[in-house]
């Protein structure tokens, strides 16, 4: 894995970088075309860019959309020296990076993440892929972008659900890695998110934390597993919601539930104190809408967890915390304990 630069509110080097390629392809969806392309265009000075447009949404993060992207690259004569620019949220970043990395055995790509979630999490660390057979991110690979350009100008058009979705990953960063950051996160006034600089301060810290972790362990053999806190149960709930709800949960909304459940598991097994468990649960419950998790579906959620990529030796693999700011990886729990954690979420 190569080192790459992450630029915060700084597009000054983008033209030099992208003009070194034979042709440029920009992947976007209907929302990022409308809201983000005009912002990016203010900074671009290039002869021509080929736009590849896809439909937004997790339900389109699949092989059919990849075929459309690969076909466009072929028809527009992309070659090994072409560049893909991913302009959008985590769906565009994961899928655009995957298509670029597999087209003609790999062309370069850069990420311009436009949601809070993709700025603090999805765009960093080279995990690329698509959903398959109702399972999240089932097909994919690791490959880093050539650069990432993050700008708070993109926040202006994000609605509060999208902001909160990204906030769940910010919360996770505090819980696993940095107790001072957790204090700052708790103090941040989320009703005043019009203050783009406040949000950008959090983005900066989260980017630093995630980048430090993935540089040490790019292929998730060890410390990178810390970033999975909240994601074992969270991913299963996200998949369940995608399959069953008319308005499915967003990624971060599912992770927020996972953070509560996995904090509970951390309490029962890893010495997380009752006080800290309460602190985490109360804070998350105070900012996220309650999800109606019915007991009748608990086993379906456990079934989904048994397909999780993180599992080893047929055991469902969890990351826990033993106190706020400190994690422990490779934890296993019985189905009974997992069900207890779902009950715990439901008890509020
Ligand atoms: N690769 C990783 O390490 C990693 C980490 C976390 C999440 N993910 C993946 O990221 C995806 C979720 O990403 P997401 O939350 O960004 O969702 P998303 O990509 O679906 O974007 C959310 C919505 O916001 C719209 N949008 C994007 N930017 C906008 C803007 N500035 N203004 C208005 N609308 C805008 C998009 O069109 C979309 O409708 C999931 O597929 C998840 O699996 C990947």
- SS (HEC) of the chain: CCCCEEEECCCCCHHHHHCCCCEEEEEEEHHHHHHCHHHHHCCCCCCCCEEEEECCCHHHCCHHHHHHHHHHHHHCCCCCCEEEEEEECHHHHHHHHHHHHHHHHCCEEEEEECCHHHHHHHCCCCEEEEEECCEEEEEEEECCCCEEEECHHHHHHCCHHHHHHHHHHHHHHHHHHCHHHHHHHHHCCHHHCCCHHHHHHHHHHHHHHHHHHHHHCCCCCCHHHHHHCCHHHHHHHHHHHHHHCCCCCCHHHHHHHHHHHHHHHHHHHCCCCHHHHHHHHHHHHHHCCCCCCCHHHHHHHHHHHCCCCCCECCECCEEEEEECCEEEEEECCCHHHHHHHHHHHHCC
- The answer, yes or no, to whether any atom of ligand 1 lies below 6 A from the CB of 88, is yes
Q: Tell me the three-class secondary structure of 221-266, residue by residue.
A: CCHHHHHHCCHHHHHHHHHHHHHHCCCCCCHHHHHHHHHHHHHHHH
Contact 28, 40 (CB under 8 A): no
Question: What's the mean pLDDT in 240-250?
Answer: 95
CA of 88 to the centre of ligand 1 (A): 7
pLDDT at site 182: 97
- The answer, yes or no, to whether any atom of ligand 1 lies below 6 A from the CB of 60, is no
Pocket test for ligand 1, best of 26, 32, 54, 89 (most atoms within 8 A of CB): 89
Closest ligand 1 atom number to CA of residue 36: 31
Radius of gyration of the chain (CA): 20
Question: What's the mean pLDDT in 260-272?
Answer: 95
What the block records as the tokens of 260 is: 């509560």
Take atom 12 of ligand 1 and give the residue whose Cα is closest: 90
Residue 248 has pLDDT above 90, yes or no: yes
Helices 251-269 + 160-177 axis angle, to 10: 30
Q: How far apart are CA 324 and CA 278, in angstroms?
A: 12
CA of 113 to the centre of ligand 1 (A): 8
Q: How far apart are CA 265 and CA 277, in angstroms?
A: 10
Question: What's the mean pLDDT in 242-261?
Answer: 96
pLDDT at site 311: 67
pLDDT at site 309: 66
Residue 146 has pLDDT above 90, yes or no: yes
CA of 151 to the centre of ligand 1 (A): 15
Query: Residues with Cβ < 8 Å from 174, sequence gap 6 or more?
Result: 181, 182, 183, 184, 185, 324, 325
Q: What is the pLDDT of residues 85-113, one digit of tens each?
A: 999 999 999 999 999 999 999 999 999 99
Q: What is the mean pLDDT of the chain?
A: 94
Contact 99, 65 (CB under 8 A): no
pLDDT at site 197: 80
- The answer, yes or no, to whether any atom of ligand 1 lies below 6 A from the CB of 251, is yes
- The answer, yes or no, to whether any atom of ligand 1 lies below 6 A from the CB of 62, is no
- The answer, yes or no, to whether any atom of ligand 1 lies below 6 A from the CB of 310, is no
- The answer, yes or no, to whether any atom of ligand 1 lies below 6 A from the CB of 116, is no
What the block records as the tokens of 200 is: 């950008």
CA of 334 to the centre of ligand 1 (A): 32
Pocket test for ligand 1, best of 27, 30, 31 (most atoms within 8 A of CB): 31
**Per-residue confidence band for 195, with pLDDT thresholds at 50, 70 and 90:** confident
Sorted by where each starts, the structural domains of the chain and their CATH numbers stand as 5-157 (3.40.50.1970), 160-346 (1.20.1090.10)
CA of 274 to the centre of ligand 1 (A): 34
CA distances from residue 293 to 109, 116, 186, 338, 341 in whole angstroms, order as listed: 39, 26, 25, 14, 12
Residue 2 has pLDDT above 70, yes or no: no
Beta strand 127-132 with 108-113 is unpaired
Distance of CA 7 to the CA centre of its chain: 18
Residue 191 has pLDDT above 80, yes or no: no
Q: How far apart are CA 276 and CA 139, in angstroms?
A: 36
Most confident range (mean pLDDT) of 187-196, 217-226, 309-318 is 217-226
CA distances from residue 167 to 161, 179, 261, 347, 348 in whole angstroms, order as listed: 10, 16, 17, 23, 21
Question: What's the mean pLDDT in 194-203?
Answer: 84
Residue 31 has pLDDT above 80, yes or no: yes
Closest ligand 1 atom number to CA of residue 155: 31
CA of 135 to the centre of ligand 1 (A): 17
CA of 249 to the centre of ligand 1 (A): 13
CA of 311 to the centre of ligand 1 (A): 25
- The answer, yes or no, to whether any atom of ligand 1 lies below 6 A from the CB of 126, is no
pLDDT at site 194: 64
Residue 312 has pLDDT above 80, yes or no: no
What the block records as the tokens of 199 is: 């949000």
CA of 313 to the centre of ligand 1 (A): 32
Backbone angles phi, psi at 287, to 5 degrees: -110, -20
pLDDT at site 271: 86
Take atom 20 of ligand 1 and give the residue whose Cα is closest: 57
Contact 306, 333 (CB under 8 A): no
Percent of the chain with pLDDT over 90: 89
């Amino acid at each position: 894995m190569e080192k790459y630069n992450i630029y915060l509110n700084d597009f000054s080097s983008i033209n030099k970088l992208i003009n070194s390629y034979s042709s440029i392809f920009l992947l976007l969806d209907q929302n990022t075309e409308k809201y983000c392309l005009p912002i990016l265009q203010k900074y671009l000075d290039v002869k021509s860019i080929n736009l590849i447009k896809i439909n937004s949404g997790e339900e389109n993060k699949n092989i059919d959309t990849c075929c459309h992207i690969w076909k466009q690259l072929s028809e527009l004569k992309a070659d090994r020296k072409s560049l893909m620019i991913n302009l959008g949220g985590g769906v565009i970043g994961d899928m655009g990076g995957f298509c670029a990395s597999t087209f003609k055995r790999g062309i370069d790509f850069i990420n311009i993440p436009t949601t809070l979630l993709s700025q603090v999490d999805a765009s960093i660390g080279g995990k690329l892929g698509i959903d398959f057979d109702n399972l999240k991110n089932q097909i994919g690979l690791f490959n880093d972008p050539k650069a990432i350009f993050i700008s708070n100008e993109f926040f202006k058009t994000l609605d509060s659900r999208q902001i909160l979705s990204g906030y769940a990953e910010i919360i996770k960063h505090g819980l696993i890695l940095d107790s001072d950051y957790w204090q700052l996160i708790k103090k941040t006034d989320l009703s005043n998110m019009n203050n783009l600089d406040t949000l950008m301060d959090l983005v900066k810290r989260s980017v630093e934390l995630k980048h430090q972790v993935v540089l040490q362990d790019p292929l998730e053999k060890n410390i990178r597993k810390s970033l999975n806190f909240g994601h074992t149960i969270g991913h299963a709930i996200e998949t369940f919601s995608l399959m069953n709800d008319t308005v499915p949960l967003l990624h971060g909304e599912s992770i927020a539930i996972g953070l509560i459940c996995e904090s509970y598991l951390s309490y029962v097994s890893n010495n997380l104190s009752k006080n800290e468990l309460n602190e985490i649960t109360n804070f998350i419950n105070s900012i996220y809408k309650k999800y109606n998790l019915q007991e009748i579906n608990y086993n379906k959620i456990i079934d989904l967890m048994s397909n999780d990529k993180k599992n080893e030796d047929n055991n469902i693999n969890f990351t826990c915390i033993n106190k706020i700011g400190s994690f422990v990886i490779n934890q296993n729990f019985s189905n009974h304990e997992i069900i207890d954690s779902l009950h715990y979420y439901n008890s509020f």
